[in-house]
Amino acid sequence: MKLRILCALLGAATTMTPYLSGTVILPRIFGDHMVLQRNAEVTIWGFAAPYETVTVETDWCEEKPSQLVKRDGRFSITIKTPEAGGPHTIKVKGWNEVVLNDVLMGEVWLCSGQSNMAFSAQWVYNFANDVKEGRSKPTFDVEKELANIDAQVAAANNPLIRFFNVANVSADTPQNDLYGAWEVCTPESMRQTSLTGYYFARRLVEELDVPVGIINSSWGGTPADVWTPAPLMTGDRVLSEFLKTRDRETWGPNAPGVLYNAMIHPLVPFKLAGVLWNQGEENVNANRGDEVYAHMFATMVRGWRSAWGEQLPFFYVQIPPYRYNAENPEAFRAAQLRDQQRRALDLIPDSGMVVITDAGNVNDIHPMDKLTVAERLAGWALYSVYDVSDEIPCGPLFSGFSEDNGSLRVNFIYANGLQSLDGKPLTDFEVAGADRVFHPATATIDGDTVIVSSPEVKEPVAVRFAWTDIATPNLASGNGLPASTFRSDDWPLE
């Protein structure tokens, strides 16, 4: 009877770990070389025969917490982890014994999103090879970038950094397990993982001197709704209406929740320090949700936090400038998406956004500069999670405006030391009057505000900034971080 129940449990899970010779079965997120969150209460969970007693033994504590396996064959045991360091050994014992070796205690971050998060050193090598063989046109200096990535790969020997790359799988229902394995950072393993994740981990190791584990669960060409629990999409009035008109032509899976089910849900409740998110390109254009993205993204974050049962810090990347519409340089749907990402900050507590208009490539949706992206994400972590930096890791964010003698005085937060990045007059401001027609505006810095005006608009009532797909404006904070796209109006977009 016990054997039949156990087999049924294995069949219900999409992928289970290879410990099939015994009865204790752990999800693959538990394995040799893993990193566990330091100084925390961490859950070890899995499957075993019903009513069997499972015990967790560690080499740092004499306590051996145990649990009688539930009727459904599941167990979940909480252990307390020590300060950063290792390696440690963990034994999970039932009728059999599963031993986890070379376990480090440190900081664990989940990296997710689409291709700009998945972007790896191997991607650079593959693209360069395609260029050399005539299958692709170069969008960057191939030889220069190859030399750079060669140096980065060669230097990637760091046993304090560990990777877990989640395989790309979708599912219609929430799953119990996923494919992947923990790997120590070497030139070979670094080539295959998120460059953003690697650079982020490297910076944290440098600043905190602790191990860092990066769980990379990302898939190129995927919209935010596939990462959002489906019930939250279909049960929301705004999002359910969006799903009725959504453009289903995407590069990857496109049904609500299918990647949350297969690539996020199986990780719950693995203890995390926080989440890094880089996504949005696939939601550009009205039928994929650029006009509801802030609400959808906030709903996704709420769903993840609810699953983990805690308000995980959530730091994300605004999409870079890119020529989505090759025939129309004035196209604005990517600007609308960037503005929605800015607005999401007000909807998502304990979140932070990095702007990369100065680190993009308008001719390539995959800009090569992932180091800048990672450094700015790390800046948020060091500032708001670890409290080891007092530098606000964000450029100017629009906070309102007032009329000022035929001009508009635009206010910002994070505006200390407003400057032009290149020393030239500020670019990419527009103003409109009651006729709702926007005209290019002259903009000058006045303390922590910007005064904007246009001879074409005698009585301005609205202002926009960087309102094209390919805008690369020069307004920045005193520490050189660029200002975010914004619009003050809520007029319908044509």
Question: Domain coordinates of the chain in residue numbers?
Answer: 2-103, 106-385, 397-487
Instruction: Count the neighbouring beta carbons within 10 Å of the beta carbon of residue 240.
Output: 12
Helix, strand, or coil here: 47?
strand
Average pLDDT of span 450-477: 98
Helix, strand, or coil here: 421?
coil
240 torsion bin: left (phi>0), alpha (psi -120 to 50), beta (else): alpha
Whether the per-residue pLDDT at 130 is higher than 70: the answer is: yes
Q: How far apart are CA 176 and CA 57, in angstroms?
A: 23
Q: How far apart are CA 283 and CA 221, in angstroms?
A: 9
Q: How far apart are CA 301 and CA 289, in angstroms?
A: 16
- Burial class for 309, CB neighbours closer than 10 Å (0-12, 13-18, 19+): exposed
Calculated CA dihedral for residues 354, 357, 359, 360, nearest 10 degrees: 120
- DSSP letter at 456 equals T
- In sequence order, the 6+-apart residues with CB closer than 8 A to the CB of 362 are 321, 322, 323, 469, 470, 472
Whether the per-residue pLDDT at 20 is higher than 80: the answer is: no
- In sequence order, the 6+-apart residues with CB closer than 8 A to the CB of 292 are 238, 239, 242, 340
Of the CATH numbers 3.40.50.1110, 3.40.50.150, 3.30.365.10, 3.20.20.70, which one belongs to the domain with range 106-385? 3.40.50.1110
Of the CATH numbers 3.40.50.740, 3.30.530.20, 3.30.70.360, 2.60.40.10, which one belongs to the domain with range 2-103? 2.60.40.10
pLDDT of residue 249: 82
pLDDT of residue 251: 82
Instruction: Count the neighbouring beta carbons within 10 Å of the beta carbon of residue 179.
Output: 15
pLDDT of residue 248: 82
Whether the per-residue pLDDT at 11 is higher than 80: the answer is: no
Q: How far apart are CA 417 and CA 426, in angstroms?
A: 14
- Per-residue pLDDT of 454-465, as tens digits, reads 999 999 999 999
pLDDT of residue 22: 52
pLDDT of residue 140: 86
Whether the per-residue pLDDT at 260 is higher than 90: the answer is: yes
Q: How far apart are CA 230 and CA 253, in angstroms?
A: 13
User: What global pTM score does this model have?
Assistant: 0.94
Give the helix/strand (H/E) hosting 146: helix 142-154
- Per-residue pLDDT of 35-69, as tens digits, reads 999 999 999 999 999 999 999 999 999 999 999 99
Q: What are phi and psi of 106, to 5 degrees?
A: -170, -140
